[in-house]
Structure 1
Amino acid sequence: MTRPLSRRLLALALASALSTVPAFTAMAQTATAAPVSPFTVSDIRVDGLQRISAGTVFTYLPVERGDRMDQAAAGEAIRALYKTGFFEDVRIGHQGDILVVTVTERPAINKLTLTGNKDIKTEDLMKGLSDIGLTEGNTFDRLSLDRVTQELTRQYNNRGKYNVKITPSVSSLPRNRVDVSIAVEEGKAARIQHINLVGNELFEDKEILKYWESGVHNWLSWYRRDDQYSREKLSGDLEKLNNYYLDRGYVDFSIDSTQVSISPDLQDMFISAGVTEGEQYKISSVEITGDTVLPKEDIEKLVLVKPDQIFSRSLLEITSDAITATLGNVGYAFAQVNPVPDVNREDKTVAIALQVVPGPRVNVRRVVFKGNSRTADEVLRRQLRQFEGTWYSQAAIDRSKIRIQGLGYFDKVDVETTPVPGSHDQVDVVYNVNEVAAGQFVFGLGYSQLTGLSTQVQVSQNNFLGSGNRIAVQAQRNDYLQRYDFSFMDPYFTDNGVSLGYNLRWSEFNNSDFNTAQYSSTSGMGQMVLGVPITETDSFTTLLGIDSNQIFAYRGVTPESIVDYIDAVGQRTFHAWRGEIGWARNTLNSALTPTRGMSQRLWLEATLPGSTVEYYKLNYNISNFWPLSRHLVLNTRAELGYGDSYGDAFVRNVCYTAPTMVDHDNDPATPPVFTPGAAPTDPCQPDSADYVKTITADGLPFFENFYAGGTRSVRGFKDNTLGPHESALGSSYRQPIGGSLKTIGSVEMIFPTLIDSSAARVSAFVDFGNVFSSFDAFDAGELRASTGLALMWRSPMGPITISYAFPIKKEDGDQLERLQFTFGGSF
């Protein structure tokens, strides 16, 4: 239940508890009123007022000058003034012909304080009290406070907390004011120590109780909270008990008695239920009656209950729902299917008649949008699957709602169907939306172990001028990267949903600070992206772009193979015409915290002929969420990547001067200084070189290599440190250089209800994977693996991910990092 709904229910309960207070008070005080001799009112005087004006009293007083005052009129006046709730005491008297009204005002609440409440949030409780008038500044009624105390006690009892103590206190202040405080001692919820079923001979208690939300105290109760007694939860469990037997054919099953007892210390609960199982029934016949609209044989295909089967109410309900949904999708919005069972207790059989009542076929006259003050109707209409002037379809209406929610422009989308006045076969479909700000100016500040302190400035508009187009400008800087981006996307470049977008980027990248080989690069690119929807969940994308990548590498600092690759190509700037094609499918039930569904993407990117280096990369990512129970979700994930060149290899002979080791000071404590050899200017002149080396540039370029290790791949290992390593010339320090084959996998058990927050999730995981220099170099024995726990939290400051991993498959030389985290935010 959402918090606003809880607040409304609490306010309603408190209001119900207080609904009769003013009337009872008035009646009690009126009964003690002194007799009044009849007279004609010449004037009215009000005594005892402090905060309330005399004009307010005259407004509610049903007596005016010139009226006849007697005992009945006095009683009516007293009741009227008590009903206002402003006064503790009202008396009617007179001095001659002057009516004298003497009042004692109720004190005003100066301060209202709540302490000790945890189960019921303070803001929810304050809102509930405010809705019934018990709030700071209002008049104070002690009887109302007593009633509220009783209602709060009942609320906590319903949560299984029977030893709760609600202690209200009132402190008097000058000027007829009071401070009201409500101290709550919630205590601990009573634990269910035993559940006893009496009369069940066919099924064991263990088999029946495993479907209940209530359970006896066990070692997982701290997480499941199934041992906490709740009256509502027990009612639901008894309904499950009834369904358990009805789904197995026991038509005459009944729950004869239910008893709940509690220990003297109010800590332990004992539940007992007496049942009568009865005999098992089978289905003798199934008949479809009424107007089926569709061919009867098509409806019969939806029937799951068959003759000679054991009777099952759940299968009967599924059948009814399937028929209703099928008719609803062809225009019969008000179709009903009424199962009529005929029980034969002698033969222990049930004959079932499914009575189909289609009702009128309904046409959608209009589709209306309300609440979209900025977003154009066209942006919403292109998401529709239910169109005007067509037959009503519940499936199309629901799908339209999901597609509108997926735009990201609205935090709430409600749909309702309203009959057209004067027509029995037409409805209007109304989508009520609540817009959120689609534009953002973001200043981001974050920190991670890999990147250090990072800053980000972004200006974006996801719904530019209400057109649905997206424009974004971004600047990012951290320890290893400077990056500037501009992007534009028109998601409906054509009416059938083909999208068109453009991307521009410039960056300076220092790989040596990224746990990779020590070299730097400056790059720029421009791209055009085209997206084509295939189905509701599938899409196809293409990309065409041009980019330039200038590499800065130095022999003796950068691994030798990278310097050789650059020398073999003969230039440090790599120009490329780039193309990409991809396919994606997404059936996740949530973009932020999914619990079911699959997301997968397959794409091929390649440089086109004429580029400095001709190569390709094939990537496949898949993530599947499997809901195992209300408490557990299994996520299986895999990432595969492979790249290679398809053009001719670069082969060159390069002349080098020999590297030297010079000991400048002959001091044993000071190591000799290494001076790398230099390559003479082309063309190669063997006579002036110390040696000649034949070098080759082939395969996937080093700056496109895959990397693994870290928070987004194999946790427990330092970012980007798995896979091939290499040293620079004259150095013993081994640097990660990545590889052309990546294999990453993960199995993660998510506990979505372990933390009482939809924004936080705890999981236990096993990660495995590695990077290999080539396809032929793959060796399953070289895979690394780790296991651990992770916390993912969408905090108000931004997303936070923390993991603690234990490497269970590692080798000497691997760089481990058990505690890893990333943090980022916007403000």
Structure 2
Amino acid sequence: MPNPSFPSLMRPIPACVVMAVASLSQPAFAVEPFTIGDIRIEGLQRGDPGSVFGALPFRVGDAYTDDKGAAALRALFATGLFKDVRIDLDGKVVVIVVDERSFIASVNFSGLKEFDKDQLSKALKDSGIAEGQPFDKAVIDRAEQEIKRQYLSRSLYGAEVVTTATPVERNRVDVTFTVTEGSVAKLRDIKISGAKAFSESTLLELMDLTTPGWLTWYTKTDRYARTKLNADIEKIRSFYLNRGYLEFDIKSTQVTISPDKQSIDVAVTIEEGQPYVVTSVRLEGDYLGRENDFRNRVRVEPGQPYRGDDVTATTRLFSDLYAAYGYAFAKVEPRTELDRKTGQVVLVLQSAPGQRINVRRVNIAGNTITRDEVIRREFRQFESAWYDGQKIKLSRDRVERLGFFSDVAVDTNEVPGSPDQVDLTLNVTEKPTGSLLLTAGFSSADRVSLSAAIKKENVFGTGNYLGIEVNTSRLQRALQVSTVDPYFTEDGVSRAVEVYYRTSKPVNAIGNVFSLATPGASIRFGVPFTEVDTVFFGVGAEQMRIGTSSGVPLSYLNHVSIFGNNSVAFPLTVGWAREERDNPISPMRGRYQRINTDMSVFGDMTYARVNAQYQQYFPLFNGRYTLGINGELGLGYGLFNKPYPVFKNFYGGGLGSVRVFEQNSLGATDVTGSYNGGTRRLNLNAELYVPVPGSGNDKSLRLFAFADAGNVWRDSSVSVTTADRERGRSGNLSDIRASAGVGLSWLSPVGPLKMSYGAPLRAFQGDKIQRFQFQIGTAF
């Protein structure tokens, strides 16, 4: 009787295993060698006979032996195409009998919502599950588990996967994965115990994971993920290390899921230890004879609590300084000497520069559209030169500043057999750099209107900009073509060319329509003087044509009386800009400065126009908050005893100026009620960005509070009436308008979107108020 304690031993043994074992063991009755007269294959339905003959170690006319038969079985099993193989002998005919594996005819999914079908199909294909591949139940089972694992990563713990294999003709199988996704498991509760020096709420604010809130439908921070929890735990650890708790420890982390797999509880137990104060910082190792240079970069201050961020910053500064001297693989290791009785610590920085490194080659990877030369010309680290960490960082920043890539990273790879050489690989991930806008509309005023705009920042991968805008509205028509070549010369001198023709039929306050036409062209060059400073100069030509209908505003009629209906100007442009912001689109830190001067000394309109701007961004509270300030000043003057042209006036109010006041509504008006702007402008802006409650540390969606002040003033030679003075149009600083409010900033797929709602803090009679405003564009 079989032993019931070992039921697994009583399972039937597959025929293929019996044949394989029998073929590999010494047969009881050896076959006498003979000459093969023919080879016949039986059982083959779908496969190619050539795949069988190709695996056999013998051919017709060869001598057949037991060893060759065993080798043939091994080779046929190794192809993975057959479930069973045996060899029969019919006289001098060798008969190969095969039982084919089923092949996959198609892979289908049912019930998918969270994942894209093509995404899963590609993942399964990489695992060997695809149309035309052999059907293997073990591989299918692993695929089930992988699909479940993908759902677990998105907090769908109740997801079920059922695989159905349906046989079809020619020994094929249709594989269908039926998925029941269920509901997303939400974090019901997060507890942190063991904290004494800080409150639990303070620690919970550090975490990206949160319990459900009013905005978690967007941020998805209430979805549990092990990687996110580990990252949050490291934030808590860093928080304590930055306050001197060197012996801080995570004692346990417990994650509990409810029986219905819809709720998750997280409990973290910590042990704070005691805080330590730094008494001294000691340098040990080789500092290349420049110990004072390194010591000046120490960010740890004796007498202050130990701060992990300061230690990390110090080691990074040491590594950067070593890299600037050519030592790419310098090792800087911090070590602490604790005195638990007094709560004091000595920080020891142990450094070893290693060998000085030479850069053999700089490689570019990941650019499928952008040409190599567009990237290489931004590189400041040259091949066959000493490794310079500062130049490599500058090179990476310059490539990122192009705006063509969503991710830029530099990898340093050692050269085998050459310990003093490295290869640099710049890995980029390209992003769309063009936009196409088509609009059509119908109105009683414009009838049918069409407009189109094509803008491309990286035309054909050359790094050049090309923009074409067309508007066919009856009241607003325009054709504009502009192009920018950032490397017009090999030295990095840029060239910008713009040609335009615009016509408009504005409506003044009384309701009359008048016509304007402005053809023009300009060319401008930018000369880089430093890595952050650029000087611009250029020349342009433009004409202003004014219709003579009765609806022309008084200020325009005055312009016609002096300059004529067709007035021409040839402005010369000189400017300077310094760009030091970390991101021009959504800056968090850094400074931006510019000054631009336009001067027309030839033609009918002679004038000088100056624009100056200053921006500064300050990170606050470890980068969670950002304070931005902006100041702009504009001045315009008429030259050669001629007045300043009204068409070059500055305008104020609205987005980019003083919010809450209607766009371009600040300044004086004429007797027709038309807003004319002014020859002087002042804008002062401040914004404080804070995270949206419930969004964790997400920087793409933020709230902000703003305060704006400014105005535009007309020429001081114009007399001021009592009515204008009462309306705050006296022409001096007492006319300043001010506003304040709150808003929402979102880095949307179409660009930075800002919405604001505010109230005027200082307004005058007749001011047009617009409390809600929005824009798509850069800051301020």
| Aligned counterpart for 2:557 among listed residues 559, 563, 575 | 563
In 1, the alpha carbon distance for the partners of 2:215 and 2:366 equals 46
Q: Does 1:508 align with 2:503?
A: yes
Matches within 5 A, 1:14-93: 30-33=16-19, 38-39=30-31, 40=33, 42=36, 43-61=38-56, 66=62, 80-93=75-88
Q: Does 1:704 align with 2:698?
A: no
Q: Could you list the per-position Cα deviations for residues 661-692 of structure 1 after superposition, in whole angstroms to 9, with x for gaps in the alignment?
A: xxxxxxxxxxxxxxxxxxxxxxxxxxxxxxxx
- TM-aligned CA deviation for residue 228 of structure 1: 2.1
Matches within 5 A, 1:338-737: 338-345=333-340, 348-364=343-359, 382-388=377-383, 390-407=385-402, 415-417=410-412, 419=414, 423-429=418-424, 445-446=438-439, 453-456=449-452, 474=468, 476-479=470-473, 480-484=475-479, 491-492=486-487, 496-500=491-495, 502-512=497-507, 518-555=513-550, 557-567=551-561, 569=562, 571-590=564-583, 596-608=589-601, 610-621=602-613, 636=628, 638=630, 640=632, 642-647=634-639, 698=643, 700-707=644-651, 720=664, 724-726=668-670, 728=672, 734-737=673-676
SS in 1 for 2:650: coil
Letter in 2 for 1:455: S
1:655 maps to what in 2? none
User: Is the contact between residue 615 and residue 643 of structure 1 (CA under 8 Å) also seen in structure 2?
Assistant: no
User: Is the contact between residue 722 and residue 770 of structure 1 (CA under 8 Å) also seen in structure 2?
Assistant: no
User: Is the contact between residue 706 and residue 771 of structure 1 (CA under 8 Å) also seen in structure 2?
Assistant: no
Cα distance change on mapping 1:457 and 1:570 into 2, 3 Å: closer
| Aligned counterpart for 2:168 among listed residues 169, 173, 188 | 173
1:327 maps to what in 2? 322
Letter in 2 for 1:189: V
1:10 maps to what in 2? none
Q: Could you list the per-position Cα deviations for residues 438-464 of structure 1 after superposition, in whole angstroms to 9, with x for gaps in the alignment?
A: 9x9x97523699999443476989679
In 2, the alpha carbon distance for the partners of 1:88 and 1:513 equals 87
In 2, the alpha carbon distance for the partners of 1:515 and 1:137 equals 76
Cα distance change on mapping 1:602 and 1:236 into 2, 3 Å: same
**Structure 1 residues without counterparts, runs of 5 or longer:** 1-25, 651-697, 729-733
In 1, the alpha carbon distance for the partners of 2:563 and 2:588 equals 52
Cα distance change on mapping 1:190 and 1:28 into 2, 3 Å: farther
- TM-aligned CA deviation for residue 551 of structure 1: 1.7
In 2, the alpha carbon distance for the partners of 1:816 and 1:149 equals 57
- TM-aligned CA deviation for residue 329 of structure 1: 0.8
In 1, the alpha carbon distance for the partners of 2:145 and 2:162 equals 11
Letter in 2 for 1:607: S
Aligned residues, how many?
733
Letter in 2 for 1:705: N
- TM-aligned CA deviation for residue 323 of structure 1: 1.0
In 1, the alpha carbon distance for the partners of 2:500 and 2:594 equals 23
User: Is the contact between residue 635 and residue 681 of structure 2 (CA under 8 Å) also seen in structure 1?
Assistant: no
User: Is the contact between residue 199 and residue 276 of structure 1 (CA under 8 Å) also seen in structure 2?
Assistant: yes
Q: Could you list the per-position Cα deviations for residues 235-278 of structure 1 after superposition, in whole angstroms to 9, with x for gaps in the alignment?
A: 23333444444443344443333322222111222223334433
- TM-aligned CA deviation for residue 27 of structure 1: 9.4
User: Is the contact between residue 465 and residue 485 of structure 2 (CA under 8 Å) also seen in structure 1?
Assistant: no
- TM-aligned CA deviation for residue 718 of structure 1: 7.0
- TM-aligned CA deviation for residue 520 of structure 1: 2.5
User: Is the contact between residue 523 and residue 548 of structure 1 (CA under 8 Å) also seen in structure 2?
Assistant: yes
In 2, the alpha carbon distance for the partners of 1:632 and 1:136 equals 50
Q: Does 1:151 align with 2:150?
A: no
In 1, the alpha carbon distance for the partners of 2:455 and 2:751 equals 22
User: Is the contact between residue 488 and residue 501 of structure 1 (CA under 8 Å) also seen in structure 2?
Assistant: yes
Cα distance change on mapping 1:420 and 1:170 into 2, 3 Å: closer
1:192 maps to what in 2? 187
In 2, the alpha carbon distance for the partners of 1:786 and 1:256 equals 46
Instruction: Please provide the CA RMSD for this pair.
Output: 4.8
Higher mean displacement: 257-266 or 417-426: 417-426
User: Is the contact between residue 548 and residue 573 of structure 1 (CA under 8 Å) also seen in structure 2?
Assistant: yes
Letter in 2 for 1:333: A
User: Is the contact between residue 287 and residue 354 of structure 1 (CA under 8 Å) also seen in structure 2?
Assistant: yes
- TM-aligned CA deviation for residue 111 of structure 1: 2.8
In 2, the alpha carbon distance for the partners of 1:478 and 1:637 equals 39
SS in 1 for 2:386: coil
1:108 maps to what in 2? 103
In 1, the alpha carbon distance for the partners of 2:753 and 2:274 equals 56
- TM-aligned CA deviation for residue 152 of structure 1: 1.9
Cα distance change on mapping 1:545 and 1:57 into 2, 3 Å: same
**Structure 2 residues without counterparts, runs of 5 or longer:** 1-11, 24-28, 716-729
Q: Could you list the per-position Cα deviations for residues 384-404 of structure 1 after superposition, in whole angstroms to 9, with x for gaps in the alignment?
A: 322456432112012123324
| Aligned counterpart for 1:211 among listed residues 200, 203, 206 | 206
- TM-aligned CA deviation for residue 30 of structure 1: 3.3
SS in 1 for 2:201: helix
Higher mean displacement: 746-755 or 381-390: 746-755
In 2, the alpha carbon distance for the partners of 1:225 and 1:61 equals 58
In 2, the alpha carbon distance for the partners of 1:631 and 1:48 equals 71
Letter in 2 for 1:704: K
SS in 2 for 1:425: strand
1:296 maps to what in 2? 291
- TM-aligned CA deviation for residue 552 of structure 1: 1.5
User: Is the contact between residue 281 and residue 347 of structure 2 (CA under 8 Å) also seen in structure 1?
Assistant: yes
Q: Output the TM-score relative to the length of structure 1.
A: 0.74
Identity %: 30
Cα distance change on mapping 1:111 and 1:716 into 2, 3 Å: farther
Q: Output the TM-score relative to the length of structure 2.
A: 0.78
In 2, the alpha carbon distance for the partners of 1:410 and 1:801 equals 17
Letter in 1 for 2:547: F
User: Is the contact between residue 438 and residue 453 of structure 2 (CA under 8 Å) also seen in structure 1?
Assistant: no
Cα distance change on mapping 1:106 and 1:274 into 2, 3 Å: same
| Aligned counterpart for 1:140 among listed residues 126, 135, 149 | 135
Letter in 2 for 1:550: R
